[in-house]
Chain A
Amino acid sequence: MILIGERINGMFTNVKQAIADKDKKVIQDLAKKQTDAGATYLDVNVGTAAADQEAAMQWLVESIQETCSTPLSLDSQKPAVIAAGLKAVNAENGVILNSTPLNKKSDEKIFDKYMEMADNAGPKACIITLTMDKNGVPQDIDTRVAIAADIVSKAMEKGFDSQRLFIDPIILPVKVPNAQVQPGNILAAIDQIRYLSEPAPHMTIGLSNLSQGATERSLINRVFLAMAIARGMDSAIVDVLDQDLMNVVATSEMLMNKQIYSDSFLKVYSGG
């Protein structure tokens, strides 16, 4: 399971404060803790409060890399912010550009630009592409799959390896009115998307978004994660510091025969 640790995000008060104060220690602690907890990548998101987002992204990347070599997921909706991060990043062990839609009204070619940026960053650079286009986020299964098919065929056209492609079917908060059908739709979409290419693109979701504003957040996240892993999802942006959630990942992977069972399977879950 490719786990992207979500904690270095300007939406969290301590990270926002650390960015404002240029307090490296807070960021480096989070990087180390998430790495120790089993994060494959560390997500880096400057949030919306930073005055100069590009500078903030660079500072975050540099601060993390001073003490930690876990590959990063540069998280922004603005290509310029990701580009700023890429200037500072060491992409030798990989990097994720997180994320782009297939296209948008203001920029039809945005996915091509991301593929170009990824290619320039190195052979292990990956992209998270949202099943979203100029018409916005689809609500139904078929449109999600159709956009995913466009993403995969566009990548193939450009010779972009499907193993460097993550598809995110966009999970919406279950508490939003009329959104309760969405988790089921996502699962059905995952079922189909994984057959779009061989080898299949990676499938990822921003898990915590699902339980936004709800009670029993961790429980909701955990149960959905197990359901999605059973359908073939092989990545997620999660709180790797949530031990209960990590135990669910380890158990789901073991039950799906992705990890060999041993009596101490929880203790040694190492991702992969």
Chain B
Amino acid sequence: MPIPEVAESFTGAVNRVTLGATKDDGGTRTKTVTVGGARNVVYGGSPEEAGETPVVAMDVLDTKPEDWPDALAEPLSDVLDSPGDWAKKCVEELGADLICLKFEGIHPDKADKDAAHAVKVTEEVLKAVAVPLVLWGCGNDEKDNEVMPKVSGAAKGEKCLIGTVTEDNYKSLTAIALADGHFLITEAPLDINIAKQVNILASDMGFPLDRIVTYQSTGALGYGIEYAYSIQERQRLAALGGDKMMAMPVICDVGYESWRAKEAKLEDAPGWGAVDDRGPMWETATAICLLQAGVDIIRLRHPKAVATVKGFIGKVWS
């Protein structure tokens, strides 16, 4: 009896997105990064259907982090007060595919730094590394609307990934990202319906769908990862089913979310193992879980997590 063909096949695909502009393309990057392109679920179908290999973006903060646990700060302690050196170390020593410049310091409740500071840091990091950048606001709508357009302008033509825009705050950043030739991150609060809606809103402003990457507020291991996983999975299935409003590659913020977990950083915890290991393990476990749901870009913080996750990606996607 012949063995029936039971593998599912799909008509749709995740959009392919190439970040970073080289000299020929009007930018100054010497490396570009392409993500997306999957035509099946992770592990599903033939190897050609797997699309591009997922990538790791390492976080670089615009301002020296004061609240990082020692286990996280220590391996980066020589560069934490210099975003340019920090980015360089991530790319040259730690194997980051992308740098995610997070403008934590502009938040009014934190250092409340101004646009001039943000522009300076952007220029510094652009100069320090040759990989594409992700430019990520602080999450305060008013401040992001004031600062991020200037950041966008400072990186004009570099084909950065800039964000985030939400259902309630998308107009200014969408318009400026379009004008400056960047790619856009649309954000939703672990909500598939809102994710689709933000994409529609950005698209209504004339932003091309194939220049959008989506972000669902990530939940770390033990803190809602099952919701994040199932939403990413559902988005991938919608993309494969031909829903053009859901066919974008996906970015996840694993670093920040993992280090929020008390299990990752609590020092006085007998029986939990060495605190230096737990954080990187928390990031790694969260990242590997989400990679299997079909996430394309993973934001990480700890060098050990980066090494393990990249090792995993190398084995599974090669």
B 174-201 contacts with A by CB, 8 A: 192-194, 196-197, 200-201
Chain B interface, DSSP helix/strand/loop, else mixed: helix
Q: Which residues of B contact A259 (CB under 8 A)?
A: 243
Q: Are the C-beta atoms of B200 and A260 separated by less than 8 Å?
A: no
Residue of B nearest to A265 (CB): B196
Q: Which residues of B contact A270 (CB under 8 A)?
A: 242-245
Q: Bound complex: CA of A270 vs CA of B201, how far in Å?
A: 16
Kindly provide the distance from the CB of B31 to the nearest chain A CB, expressed in whole angstroms: 34
Number of A-B contacts (CB under 8 A): 36
Taking residues whose C-beta sits less than 8 angstroms from the other chain, chain A's interface range is 10 to 19
A 254-272 contacts with B by CB, 8 A: 259-264, 267-268, 270-272
Q: Are the C-beta atoms of A262 and B11 separated by less than 8 Å?
A: no
Q: Which residues of A contact B243 (CB under 8 A)?
A: 259-260, 270, 272
Given A267-B200, A268-B245, A272-B241, the answer on whether A260 and B11 have CB atoms closer than 8 Å is no
Most interface-central of A260, A264, A268, A270 (chain B CB within 10 A): A260
Q: Which residues of A contact B196 (CB under 8 A)?
A: 260-262
Q: Are the C-beta atoms of B200 and A262 separated by less than 8 Å?
A: yes
Residue of A nearest to B238 (CB): A260
Q: Are the C-beta atoms of B192 and A260 separated by less than 8 Å?
A: yes
Q: Bound complex: CA of A259 vs CA of B244, how far in Å?
A: 11
Q: Bound complex: CA of A261 vs CA of B234, how far in Å?
A: 12
CB contact between A264 and one of B11, B200, B244 (< 8 Å): that residue: B200
Most interface-central of B192, B238, B243 (chain A CB within 10 A): B243
Residue of B nearest to A272 (CB): B242
Residue of A nearest to B203 (CB): A268
Taking residues whose C-beta sits less than 8 angstroms from the other chain, chain B's interface range is 10 to 19
Q: Does B12 contact A (CB under 8 A)?
A: yes
Q: Which residues of B contact A262 (CB under 8 A)?
A: 193-194, 196-197, 200, 245
Q: Does B246 contact A (CB under 8 A)?
A: yes
Given A260-B193, A261-B193, A262-B193, the answer on whether A268 and B242 have CB atoms closer than 8 Å is no
Kindly provide the distance from the CB of B12 to the nearest chain A CB, expressed in whole angstroms: 7
Q: Bound complex: CA of A194 vs CA of B57, how far in Å?
A: 46
B 234-265 contacts with A by CB, 8 A: 234, 238, 241-246
Kindly provide the distance from the CB of B83 to the nearest chain A CB, expressed in whole angstroms: 37
Chain A interface, DSSP helix/strand/loop, else mixed: loop
Q: Are the C-beta atoms of A260 and B246 separated by less than 8 Å?
A: yes
Q: Are the C-beta atoms of A272 and B12 separated by less than 8 Å?
A: yes
Q: Which residues of A contact B193 (CB under 8 A)?
A: 260-263
Q: Bound complex: CA of A93 vs CA of B232, how far in Å?
A: 29
Kindly provide the distance from the CB of A267 to the nearest chain B CB, expressed in whole angstroms: 7
Q: Are the C-beta atoms of A264 and B241 separated by less than 8 Å?
A: no
Kindly provide the distance from the CB of A200 to the nearest chain B CB, expressed in whole angstroms: 14
Residue of B nearest to A267 (CB): B200
Q: Bound complex: CA of A270 vs CA of B11, how far in Å?
A: 14
Q: Which residues of B contact A271 (CB under 8 A)?
A: 242
Kindly provide the distance from the CB of A52 to the nearest chain B CB, expressed in whole angstroms: 37
Q: Bound complex: CA of A33 vs CA of B243, how far in Å?
A: 21
Residue of A nearest to B199 (CB): A262
Kindly provide the distance from the CB of B212 to the nearest chain A CB, expressed in whole angstroms: 14
A 135-170 contacts with B by CB, 8 A: none
Q: Bound complex: CA of A36 vs CA of B244, how far in Å?
A: 15
Q: Which residues of A contact B192 (CB under 8 A)?
A: 260
Kindly provide the distance from the CB of B184 to the nearest chain A CB, expressed in whole angstroms: 17
B 203-248 contacts with A by CB, 8 A: 234, 238, 241-246
Q: Bound complex: CA of A272 vs CA of B234, how far in Å?
A: 16
Instruction: Give A232-272 as 1s and 0s: 1 = Cβ < 8 Å from B's Cβ atoms.
Output: 00000000000000000000000000011111100110111
Q: Are the C-beta atoms of A272 and B245 separated by less than 8 Å?
A: no
Q: Which residues of A contact B194 (CB under 8 A)?
A: 262
Kindly provide the distance from the CB of A53 to the nearest chain B CB, expressed in whole angstroms: 33
Residue of B nearest to A259 (CB): B243
Kindly provide the distance from the CB of A260 to the nearest chain B CB, expressed in whole angstroms: 5
Q: Bound complex: CA of A263 vs CA of B168, how far in Å?
A: 13
Q: Which residues of A contact B200 (CB under 8 A)?
A: 262, 264, 267-268
Kindly provide the distance from the CB of B90 to the nearest chain A CB, expressed in whole angstroms: 35
Most interface-central of B11, B12, B197, B246 (chain A CB within 10 A): B197
Q: Which residues of A contact B234 (CB under 8 A)?
A: 260
Residue of A nearest to B192 (CB): A260
Q: Are the C-beta atoms of B197 and A264 separated by less than 8 Å?
A: yes
Q: Bound complex: CA of A261 vs CA of B192, how far in Å?
A: 8
Q: Bound complex: CA of A272 vs CA of B240, how far in Å?
A: 10
Q: Bound complex: CA of A267 vs CA of B244, how far in Å?
A: 13
Residue of B nearest to A163 (CB): B9
Q: Bound complex: CA of A268 vs CA of B197, how far in Å?
A: 10
Q: Bound complex: CA of A130 vs CA of B280, how far in Å?
A: 61
Q: Which residues of A contact B242 (CB under 8 A)?
A: 270-272
Q: Bound complex: CA of A263 vs CA of B167, how far in Å?
A: 11
Q: Bound complex: CA of A270 vs CA of B242, how far in Å?
A: 8
A-B contact pairs, 8 of them (CB 8 A): A259-B243, A260-B234, A262-B245, A263-B193, A268-B244, A272-B12, A272-B242, A272-B243
Q: Which residues of A contact B (CB under 8 A)?
A: 259-264, 267-268, 270-272
Nearest 6 A-B pairs (CB), nearest first?
A272-B242, A262-B196, A262-B197, A264-B200, A261-B193, A263-B197
Besides A262-B196, A268-B244, 4 new A-B residue pairs in contact (Cβ under 8 A), listed by A number? A260-B243, A262-B193, A263-B193, A270-B243
